[in-house]
């Protein structure tokens, strides 16, 4: 008997479990994939594809009974990371195919992250593809097989198919003969999901326009999750408006007496100041120095902006309230590429303060909130113009997008092209508008270049993905100085290789250990040439402010660090329990510069968001503890001059542009504070200078750190 899917509860799963019956594995039979339309009668075949038969279950995955939300789908249950399904098929089946695809729906209220792995044999290279899912909303997995060349870090989210990203090795589809789907990250909640058979196809795979929503709408009219309940949830729009008006009335906070007008340390002054921020190393440690000469340690928050945008492409059915895109609520709508976005934080301010002038009111409240928290820096991705106008210390982001030279591998440009210098000069011109602003600490030249997420070196990726370019010619010249002939190169690399093949042509061979050593050395040269040119252009456009580096994703390898000598400060985004002191010391020793942390955070699952964020703890109280441990340990680190938390606001429960839906804010979508972490931040920031000077020991009552969910 068919179950009413709106009444189907999680408890029902336990009463409908049945033993796993291994599916028959008939390879080569052509089947039809069906769309997930709202009415079964409307479900029509979309394309013909080849089914990928299951071989076995991995870990403790079980097959269970469940409602028939998706046609031809089976229900599964996994309790641990690594639970999944393996598939096998004849070698070469995927050659010439365009997609691997299946439909899925995840039950529960906590995000599940999955990983697909394509392998060449048992011990061969393995291509990884990770994605998250939006709970209680059907999605279509679409894995473009063109990604196996590793030339892209990922693709856009598509509805409830979140943050699809590449990892692992490049593989040859002619040699791939197996696949697995596993739960790669999860909460303590049992992972329950239904899944149609995987297919591979040479056809285009259509998207789902109207997903199945077993529990109805996912976002209420003020932007909160409808499938979660939590203490502190705003009851209705009137309560939200009352809270916002009250917050505006209290927007009159000032710095404590021990802070300079910039948020520096009034008790310690180096000199009369230069009028701009700078770095200084005394006998004990590195510091920033504020424009008036006072010692300064940067406690910042990123994304000081109206920052709860949700990508609702393919998901409009999940929204309770969508006003007209014209008229008084037009400011809550935006586009990112071809995807429409909706911003309920903006809508809440418009509802409360009106369509005219609401953004200025928001800015007043936001900057006052930073002052209340004793945060002295408006971090990256912010509406920094408001900070500049208010004389509040800030940093600003930059992004290098060349128009003259081509990209060699992911976002790494052809740095030996003669036109690269012109692109660098164009890129730096934006700095002229703030070159005389004393409130500007400095600029980040870019954020987390995607070539840094790859397991391949830039020089390796270039050889595989760019048949001909000036940097390949430079690599040939570099190798010619070491190995004068083809024979010497082939002997040293222990492989069949020629200098002509290095310079141009399609590369298919896999590299030996000796070859990779040379390519690592040249990758360092590529990185150095890249950032030296950009830094020089920035210095010409703005000689007054600090070059804060590129916000490297995590702890960088030594070869990459060595190529970054042109910065004033080395920046990295570090989502660890603490900033690794040994790594900051090594960076200092290699570059003779301090380190600043561009991003970090901790989240929990107790305030209505599907995912905690990258750092994961049990509760809001533990978020406060984790905050104090991280920032105070960083302040006590003599090589670290600041940390910038990501972000001021929680992300939308529906997910931002890439699908992140994290509890990582000090404030929620209704501008209500998470009290525990706000109080913790105030305590840490009040003492930050005493901690940095060694007068006070850093806070050390660490919470339990849970497995990451990003």
- Find where tokens 């994703």 sit: 553
**Cα–Cα distance measured from residue 337 to residue 343, given in angstroms and rounded to the nearest whole number:** 16
List Cβ neighbours of 388 (8 Å cut-off, separation of 6 or more): 394, 434, 437, 439, 440
pLDDT for residue 46: 58
Kindly state whether residue 434 falls inside one of the protein's structural domains. no
Q: Does 454 map to a domain? A: no
> 536: number of CA atoms within 13 Å, CB side?
12
The whole-number pLDDT of residue 238 equals 98
pLDDT along the chain (710 residues), means of 10: 34 36 33 38 58 94 96 96 97 96 97 98 97 98 98 98 98 98 97 97 95 98 98 97 98 97 98 98 97 98 98 98 97 97 98 97 98 98 98 98 98 98 98 98 98 97 98 98 97 98 97 98 98 98 98 94 96 98 97 98 98 98 98 98 98 98 98 98 98 98 94
Q: Which two structure tokens, joined as six digits, stand for 662?
A: 């994290």
- For 357-510, strand residue ranges (E) read 377-378, 394-397, 407-409, 412-413, 440-444
Q: Determine the structural domain holding residue 14 and report its residue range.
A: 10-201
What's the pLDDT at 30? 37
Secondary structure element (H or E) that encloses residue 529, with its range: helix 513-541
Return the exposure string of 220-233: e unless at least 16 CB atoms fall within 10 Å of the residue's CB, then b. bbbbbbbbbeeeeb
Tally of domains within the chain = 1
Q: Is residue 91 part of a domain?
A: yes
**Exposure class string for 9-29: b at 16+ Cβ within 10 A, else e:** eeeebeeeeeeeeeeeeeeee
pLDDT at site 47 = 67
Q: Is residue 32 part of a domain?
A: yes
Is 685 within the bounds of a domain?
no
Q: What are the residues facing 32 on neighbouring strands?
A: 48
482 close to 419: Cβ distance less than 8 angstroms: no
- Examine residue 590 and state whether it is found in any structural domain, yes or no: no
What CATH number did the domain enclosing 79 receive? 2.60.120.430
Please say whether the beta carbons of 486 and 495 come within 8 A: no
What whole-number distance in Å separates Cα of residue 143 and Cα of residue 164?
8
Q: Is residue 492 part of a domain?
A: no
Model's pTM, two decimal places? 0.94
Is residue 620 included in any domain, yes or no? Answer: no
**What pLDDT score was predicted for residue 710?**
87
Residue 167's φ and ψ, nearest 5 degrees, are -155, 180
Chain mean position to CA 595: 21
Query: What distance in Å separates the CA atoms of residue 327 and residue 662, rounded to the nearest whole number?
Result: 31
């Amino acid at each position: 008997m068919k179950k009413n899917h709106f009444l189907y509860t999680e408890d029902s799963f336990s009463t409908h479990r049945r033993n796993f019956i291994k599916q028959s594995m008939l390879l080569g039979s052509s089947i039809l994939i069906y769309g997930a339309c709202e009415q079964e009668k409307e479900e029509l075949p979309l394309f013909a594809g080849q089914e990928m038969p299951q071989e076995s279950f991995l870990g403790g995955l079980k097959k269970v009974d469940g409602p028939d939300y998706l046609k031809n789908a089976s229900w599964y249950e996994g309790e641990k990371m690594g639970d999944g399904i393996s598939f096998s098929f004849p070698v070469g089946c995927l050659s010439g195919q365009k997609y691997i695809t299946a439909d899925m729906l995840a039950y529960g209220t906590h995000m599940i992250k999955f990983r697909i792995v394509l392998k060449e044999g048992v011990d061969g290279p393995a291509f990884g593809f990770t994605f998250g899912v939006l709970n209680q909303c059907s999605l279509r997995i679409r894995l473009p097989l063109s990604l196996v060349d590793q030339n892209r870090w990922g693709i856009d989210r598509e509805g409830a198919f979140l943050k699809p990203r590449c990892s692992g090795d490049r593989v040859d589809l002619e040699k791939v003969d197996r696949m697995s789907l596993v739960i790669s990250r999860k909460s303590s909640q049992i992972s329950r999901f239904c899944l149609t058979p995987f297919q591979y196809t040479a056809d285009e795979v259509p998207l789902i326009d109207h997903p199945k929503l077993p529990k109805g709408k996912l976002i209420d009219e003020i932007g909160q999750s409808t499938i979660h309940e939590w203490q502190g949830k705003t009851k209705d729009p009137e309560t939200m408006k009352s809270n916002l008006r009250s917050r505006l009335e209290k927007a009159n906070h000032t710095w404590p007496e021990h802070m300079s007008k910039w948020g520096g340390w009034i008790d310690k002054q180096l000199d009369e100041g230069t009028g701009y921020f700078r770095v200084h190393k005394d006998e004990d440690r590195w510091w920033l120095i504020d424009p008036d000469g006072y010692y300064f340690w940067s406690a910042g928050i990123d994304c000081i902006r109206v920052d709860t945008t949700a990508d609702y492409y393919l998901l409009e059915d999940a929204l309770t309230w969508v006003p007209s895109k014209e008229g008084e609520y037009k400011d809550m709508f935006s586009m990112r590429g071809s995807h429409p976005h909706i911003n309920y934080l903006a809508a809440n301010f418009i509802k409360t303060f009106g369509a005219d002038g609401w953004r200025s009111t928001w800015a007043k409240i936001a900057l006052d909130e930073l002052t209340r928290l004793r945060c002295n820096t408006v971090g990256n991705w912010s509406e920094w113009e408001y900070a500049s106008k208010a004389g509040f210390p800030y940093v600003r982001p930059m992004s290098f997008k060349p128009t003259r030279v081509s990209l060699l591998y992911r976002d790494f440009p052809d740095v030996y092209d003669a036109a690269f210098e012109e692109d660098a000069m164009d890129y730096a011109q934006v700095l002229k508008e703030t070159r005389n602003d004393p409130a500007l600490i400095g600029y980040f030249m870019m954020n987390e270049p995607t070539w840094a997420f790859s397991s391949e070196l830039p020089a390796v990726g270039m050889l595989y993905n760019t048949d001909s370019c000036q940097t390949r010619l430079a690599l040939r010249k570099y190798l010619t100085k070491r190995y004068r002939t083809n024979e010497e190169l082939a002997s040293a690399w222990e492989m069949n290789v020629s200098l002509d093949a290095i310079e141009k042509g399609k590369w298919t061979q896999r590299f030996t250990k000796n070859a990779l050593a040379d390519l690592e050395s040249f990758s360092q040269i590529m990185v150095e040439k890249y950032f030296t040119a950009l830094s020089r252009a920035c210095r010409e456009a703005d000689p007054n402010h600090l070059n804060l580096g590129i916000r490297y994703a995590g702890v960088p390898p030594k070869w990459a660090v060595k190529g970054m000598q042109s910065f004033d400060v080395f920046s990295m985004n570090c989502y660890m329990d603490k900033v690794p002191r040994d790594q900051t010391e090594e960076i200092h020793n290699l570059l003779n510069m301090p380190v600043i942390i561009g991003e970090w955070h901790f989240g929990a699952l107790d305030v209505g968001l599907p995912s905690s964020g990258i750092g994961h703890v049990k509760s809001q109280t533990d978020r406060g503890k984790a905050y104090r441990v991280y920032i105070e340990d960083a302040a006590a680190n003599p090589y670290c001059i600041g940390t910038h938390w990501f972000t001021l606001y929680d992300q939308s429960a529906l997910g931002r542009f890439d699908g992140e839906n994290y509890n990582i804010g000090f404030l929620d979508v209704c501008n209500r504070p998470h009290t525990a972490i706000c109080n913790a931040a105030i305590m840490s920031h009040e003492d930050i200078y005493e901690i940095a000077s060694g007068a006070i020991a850093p806070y050390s009552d660490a919470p339990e750190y849970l497995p990451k969910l990003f």
